[in-house]
Structure 1
């Protein structure tokens, strides 16, 4: 539920703060006082509408899945719409786009004054029907779960099979391409890290002559080695350090001469050509290692193409078995639904009768197998397509569907917002709408603008929207204030004693 709403600087409103209760929340007031403006500002705080208020802020205690929106989860969420030069939206002071906020709240907040067909979508109608079955037949839940599991597996197998059939149409081309790619790499036959080793050899070859010449000149030091030993003996100095150094130097130079002499057996042109071949592979695949991985991938693909007929045969067998099982489960589920549809239709028309609407006709027709089965539910109001019924009839039919759904709801259903749903209705029609809304308020927090005493008297919380001069105010009414306001709705600005008496009787009737 929405626990608190705050509004600042929006048209005729300077500042409004509302502490809200669960159940049926009614807003009344003279025409032009700002009731629709207030409703619009509440919707704007959740990103489902727009307004030019400086600030719209709502506090809720919903169990939101905020991970995808990048918002930290919390027990209480504060939604804000701030308008300065441009609109900005926040949840718990974390910035969020209007669309992301609207998506996040769409399962919790619904504005029923819009001509929205979501209540009549097949998935929603089937869920209502299935909830009724679940209460009467414990096997319905198990059957539906088993169907859904097998349908998803059937769909996966079918998708895999279609992919193989598509591959088969291109199999010759794919096999030739895979073999060609493998051969192209095998001709060069690269080894891991071979390019690094060849580049090192090329580097050594480029400085071979210079290094050997330098070594030859440096070897002259050994011709004078004995003179150094003689001098050290004459000086009575320890010559071991010099002996160790000369031995180490001799080993280094001999090793270098041996390494560079081995390069005599290497053909420089062969090295350069090999480096060019490997460079071409690297340009194409990124690295030698990537080329070898690509080759292995193509070898595996070629093996798969060779075995595709075996794989296809196995999948076809699985598809046939799953298809048969899915069809059987769907038929059993459909049989249960057909057995319940008359009761569904009867209960819906019971609500419609209360709402002074013509009978509806609900039918189940076969459709393509989907996750929820093979059934499609259609609703017509007195044989008239829903697109052609009046807005008033449409909204009352939606209330009947919601009332039917609420009979089996196990938790709160969020917030419903209705703008003058009882406008232009007779007293009896208004009372019927009020009774259905009162039932729904056990599962939803409902905000409604009303101009009729019947609905107003049933409110769990009643706010008066009124103007003083050019400024609009909102006041929560106590029992006596409610009597006066309902009497005004009945008799107009000149309130009669009869109107007050009737208003008090209505309130006493519905506040017991």
Structure 2
């Protein structure tokens, strides 16, 4: 529920703070006092409307599920709209877009002044019908679970079959392409690190002649090695360091000579061609490692293509089995729903009668299999499509659907906001609407603007919206003040004793209920 609402600087309002209760919350007041402005500002704080208020803020007890947008749920969550140049929206002081705020609030807030068809979506209507089935037949819940489990598996198998069927259409081409790609890499048959080895060989080949020539000249040093040793002996100097150095130098020269001489056996043309092949492979696949990975992938694909007929046969067997399963389960579900449909229609029409609406025609037709079965539940008002009925009729029909749903609700359904739903109704009609709202208020916090004494008297909480000069203000009314306000609604500004008496009787009668 919305526990508190605060408004600052919006049109005729300077400041207003409401401490709100659960149940049916009624707003009354003279025309032009600011009731619709107040309602609009409450919606704006929750991303459901736009306004130019400096601040509108709602504190709610909703257990919001806002992980997707990174909001941490608090015991009391504060939704806020601030207008300072640009509009800014916050939840628990974290800035969000208006759209995100609206998405978070949409799970808990419904504005029934808009022609919103979500309450008439097939999934919602079937859920209400199934809840009524479940009262008499407990197996419906298990039946639905079994059906949905089989249906989801059926959908997966169907998708896999569709993929295979598409692949089979081009299977020959795919197999040829995979085999071609494998052969192309196998023909080159690269090994990991071969490109680096070839690069080293190419570099050494390019300087082979120069290196061997240099080595041959440098080896002259060994022809004079004995002269150095003799001189060191004459000087009585230690010659071990010189012997070690010469031995090390001889080893380096011998190794280099052996390495570069071995290149004589290599075919330079073959090396260059091999380098070009490896380079082409790398240009296409990125690296030798990636080329080899790609080859293995194509091998797996080729194996899959060769085994696709076996896989298709297995899937077709599963598909046939699951088709029979969901057909059986869906038919059982449909039978239970059909048996409960007359009671559903009768209860709905009972509410519609209280709301002074024509009877509704409720039908259940079999369509394609979906997650909630094969049934499509549709409602017409006296054979008229919902899209063609008036907004007033549409919203009262929504109330009847919500009332039907609320009969078996075990939790709070959120907030309903209604703008003058009893406008242009007779006193008797208004009382019928009020009774339906009273039932709904057991499961919803309902905000309603009313100009009728019957609905106003049903309120669990009553706020007067009035003007002090040009400034709009709000006030929560006590019992006697409610008597006076309802009397004003009945008789106008000149309140009669008869109006006060009738107002008191209305309030006392409804408080007793």
- In the superposition, the TM-score normalised over structure 2's length comes to 0.95
| Distance verdict in 2 for CA 1:94–1:199, change over 3 Å | farther
| Distance verdict in 2 for CA 1:211–1:463, change over 3 Å | farther
Corresponding residue number in structure 1 for 2:358: 358
Matched, 1:6 2:3: no
| Corresponding residue SS for 1:68 | helix
Corresponding residue number in structure 2 for 1:139: 139
Distance 1:211 1:55 in 2: 85
Distance 2:287 2:55 in 1: 58
| Distance verdict in 2 for CA 1:291–1:452, change over 3 Å | same
Corresponding residue number in structure 2 for 1:22: 22
Corresponding residue number in structure 1 for 2:84: 84
Superposed, 1:154-303 pairs within 5 Å as 154-230=154-230, 238-303=238-303
Report deviation, 1:219.
3.6
Superposed, 1:315-330 pairs within 5 Å as 315-330=315-330
Matched, 1:58 2:32: no
| Corresponding residue SS for 2:67 | coil
| Distance verdict in 2 for CA 1:126–1:257, change over 3 Å | same
Distance 1:351 1:103 in 2: 31
More displaced 10-residue stretch of structure 1: 373-382 or 477-486: 477-486
| Distance verdict in 2 for CA 1:210–1:33, change over 3 Å | farther
Report deviation, 1:430.
0.8
Report deviation, 1:190.
1.9
Report deviation, 1:403.
0.6
Report deviation, 1:154.
0.8
Distance 1:380 1:81 in 2: 39
More displaced 10-residue stretch of structure 1: 225-234 or 9-18: 225-234
Distance 1:236 1:507 in 2: 131
Corresponding residue number in structure 2 for 1:37: 37
More displaced 10-residue stretch of structure 1: 134-143 or 54-63: 54-63
Distance 1:134 1:308 in 2: 45
Corresponding residue number in structure 1 for 2:384: 384
Distance 1:28 1:146 in 2: 51
Distance 2:259 2:61 in 1: 79
| Distance verdict in 2 for CA 1:410–1:224, change over 3 Å | farther
| Corresponding residue SS for 1:481 | helix
More displaced 10-residue stretch of structure 1: 206-215 or 316-325: 206-215
Distance 1:184 1:389 in 2: 69
Report deviation, 1:232.
5.1
| Distance verdict in 2 for CA 1:185–1:64, change over 3 Å | same
Corresponding residue number in structure 1 for 2:107: 107
More displaced 10-residue stretch of structure 1: 323-332 or 276-285: 276-285
| Distance verdict in 2 for CA 1:6–1:230, change over 3 Å | farther
Matched, 1:67 2:70: no
| Corresponding residue SS for 2:448 | strand
Distance 2:271 2:370 in 1: 64
- In the superposition, the TM-score normalised over structure 1's length comes to 0.95
| Distance verdict in 2 for CA 1:337–1:225, change over 3 Å | same
* Partner deviation per Cα, 1:457-476 (whole Å, 9 max, x = no partner): 22222111112222211222
Distance 2:96 2:210 in 1: 68
Report deviation, 1:339.
0.9
More displaced 10-residue stretch of structure 1: 502-511 or 244-253: 244-253
* Partner deviation per Cα, 1:25-54 (whole Å, 9 max, x = no partner): 111111111111111111111212212222
Report deviation, 1:228.
4.8
* Partner deviation per Cα, 1:271-298 (whole Å, 9 max, x = no partner): 2222222222222222222222222222
Distance 2:314 2:222 in 1: 80
Corresponding residue number in structure 2 for 1:441: 441
| Distance verdict in 2 for CA 1:253–1:87, change over 3 Å | farther
| Distance verdict in 2 for CA 1:218–1:20, change over 3 Å | farther
| Corresponding residue SS for 1:466 | strand
Give ranges in structure 1 of 5+ residues lacking alignment.
none
Give ranges in structure 2 of 5+ residues lacking alignment.
none
Superposed, 1:324-343 pairs within 5 Å as 324-343=324-343
Corresponding residue number in structure 2 for 1:511: 511
| Distance verdict in 2 for CA 1:195–1:503, change over 3 Å | same
Distance 2:280 2:498 in 1: 100
| Corresponding residue SS for 1:511 | helix
Corresponding residue number in structure 1 for 2:414: 414
Distance 1:180 1:153 in 2: 36
More displaced 10-residue stretch of structure 1: 76-85 or 434-443: 76-85
Report deviation, 1:216.
3.9
* Partner deviation per Cα, 1:162-219 (whole Å, 9 max, x = no partner): 1111111112222222222222222222222222222222223233344444444444
| Distance verdict in 2 for CA 1:380–1:204, change over 3 Å | same
Distance 1:11 1:38 in 2: 10
Distance 2:271 2:73 in 1: 63
| Corresponding residue SS for 2:480 | helix
Distance 1:55 1:88 in 2: 10
Corresponding residue number in structure 2 for 1:153: 153
Report deviation, 1:245.
4.0
Paired residue total? 512
| Corresponding residue SS for 2:69 | coil
* Partner deviation per Cα, 1:228-269 (whole Å, 9 max, x = no partner): 545555666555444444433433333233222222222333
